[in-house]
Amino acid sequence: MININDIKNGMTIIIDGNIYLILEFLHVKPGKGPAFVRIKLKNLRTGSTIEQTFNTNIKFEKAIVEKKPMQYLYGSGDTYNFMNMETYEQIDLTKDQLGDDAKFLKEGLDLDVTFYKGEVLGITLPEKIEYGISHTEPAVKGNTATNATKEATLENGLTIKVPLFINENDKIIVSTKDGKYDSRA
């Protein structure tokens, strides 16, 4: 058990049987009344984010989560196959377990898979991933009156907006936080 005054960002705790990641917290000492802590939590099973307020005398059970480096091998329907790079053990995860992160997967991608007592909680993608452009329309000269972007399809099938100077077979960097073009590779 850990005291609420000892929590830190990135710590994992158990509240009512659910595993939460502490995203941020604020220790508040109002002029009147007792101090309290406002915490922004992410449920690692469902992916939902909540904000809760706790008294300063609360204790939490710490959840020991394990991150294993794995490589994405292939997808088959709604099932995605990952391999542990140390033991060569393979696991299958469903689209429901991966959520929105599934759209960023490409074969050979190294990432971390998060486990809690043998239960798979999800994956942690790198902040930025390099992709090849499989299809995009050529830029039309003088077409810069509005937003100077065009749609491009990446090697994994994801469609994003890119600047006009990007062509087919170019390599680009995409941010996994918002799914937007970051830079040329």
Separation of alpha carbons 108 and 12, rounded Å: 29
Contact 67, 112 (CB under 8 A): yes
From first to last of its 185 residues, the chain has per-residue pLDDT tens of: 889 888 999 899 999 889 999 999 999 898 888 999 999 999 888 878 999 999 988 899 999 999 899 999 998 888 999 999 889 899 998 888 888 888 899 999 999 998 898 888 888 889 999 999 998 888 766 656 566 788 899 998 889 999 888 888 899 999 988 888 888 87
Q: Which fold has domain 2-62?
A: SH3 type barrels. (2.30.30)
pTM of the predicted protein model: 0.76
Question: What's the CATH number of domain 66-124, 2.60.40.60, 2.40.50.140, 3.90.1150.10, 2.40.160.10?
Answer: 2.40.50.140
The domain ranges of the chain are 2-62, 66-124, 128-184
| 3-state secondary structure at position 50 | strand
